[in-house]
């Protein structure tokens, strides 16, 4: 059976970003996947939120003049990779939200984008241990 190209509804696959909006909490800080940046619209400034009782961390785009606005992403054309924030204060807040946190362990948390409220939410109680990618040339052979 031959496929009729005219009947297909092909969609372009974006292989440049993660399929899920993930963050990684590690020894040095927090890394946001490119998908987080895309979903939030590459905001120049964000506000970080926590709900300690429910173990939730959130990120919301904002104007630079809003209370506790934090510099975040570059413009879409300039932001080529993930975004790492080495702010120890942010890391410490997130560490407190991860149940049974073990120092020197890397954790991955998958977020959920709430489009109506334009906010990315992370249930930190679902943090999973995550291995680093080695990128060893020996692994490629």
pLDDT digits (tens, 9 = 90+) for 103-124: 999 999 999 999 999 999 999 9
**Does residue 110 lie within any of the structural domains?**
yes
Long-range pairs, 57-63, Cβ under 8 A, ≥24:
57/23, 57/93, 57/94, 57/97, 57/109, 57/121, 57/122, 57/124, 58/119, 58/120, 58/121, 58/122, 59/32, 59/119, 59/120, 60/117, 60/118, 60/119, 60/120, 61/118
Band the pLDDT of 140: cuts 50, 70, 90. very low
pLDDT(74) > 70:
yes
Q: What is the mean pLDDT of residues 81-94?
A: 95
* Mean pLDDT over the full length of the chain: 89
The CA-atom distances, in angstroms, between 109 and each of 20, 31, 63, 79 are: 10, 10, 26, 21
Quick check: is 66 in a domain?
yes
Structural domain includes residue 50? yes
Instruction: Give the model's pLDDT for residue 14.
Output: 67
Q: Which domain holds residue 74?
A: 20-131
User: What's the number of domains the chain is made of?
Assistant: 1
Integer angstrom CA distances of residue 66 from 15, 25, 30, 33, 140: 34, 26, 22, 24, 47
**Does pTM top 0.85 for this prediction?**
no
Domain membership of residue 108 (yes or no) is yes
Is 75 part of any domain? Answer: yes
Q: How many other CB atoms are there within 10 angstroms of residue 73's CB atom?
A: 21
DSSP letter (8 states) at residue 91: H
Structure confidence by residue, pLDDT tens digits, 7-64: 888 888 766 656 789 999 999 999 999 999 999 999 999 999 999 999 999 999 999 9
Residue 138: predicted pLDDT? 40
Residues whose CB is less than 8 angstroms from the CB of residue 123 and which lie 6 or more positions away in sequence, other chains included: 54, 55, 56, 109, 112
Say if 10 falls within a structural domain. no
Question: Is residue 74 domain-resident?
Answer: yes
Q: Is residue 8 part of a domain?
A: no
């Amino acid at each position: 059976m031959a496929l009729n190209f005219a009947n297909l509804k092909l969609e372009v696959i974006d292989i440049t970003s993660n399929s899920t909006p993930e963050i990684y909490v590690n020894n040095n800080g927090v890394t946001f996947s490119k998908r987080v940046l895309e979903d939030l619209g590459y905001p120049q400034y964000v506000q970080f939120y926590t709900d300690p009782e429910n173990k939730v961390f959130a990120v919301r785009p904002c104007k630079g003049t809003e209370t506790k606005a934090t510099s975040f992403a570059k413009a879409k054309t300039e932001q080529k990779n993930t975004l790492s924030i080495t702010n120890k204060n942010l890391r410490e807040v997130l560490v407190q939200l991860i149940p049974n946190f073990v120092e020197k362990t890397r954790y991955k948390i998958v977020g959920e984008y709430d489009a109506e409220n334009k906010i990315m939410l992370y249930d930190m109680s679902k943090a999973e241990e995550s291995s680093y990618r080695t990128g060893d040339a020996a692994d490629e052979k």
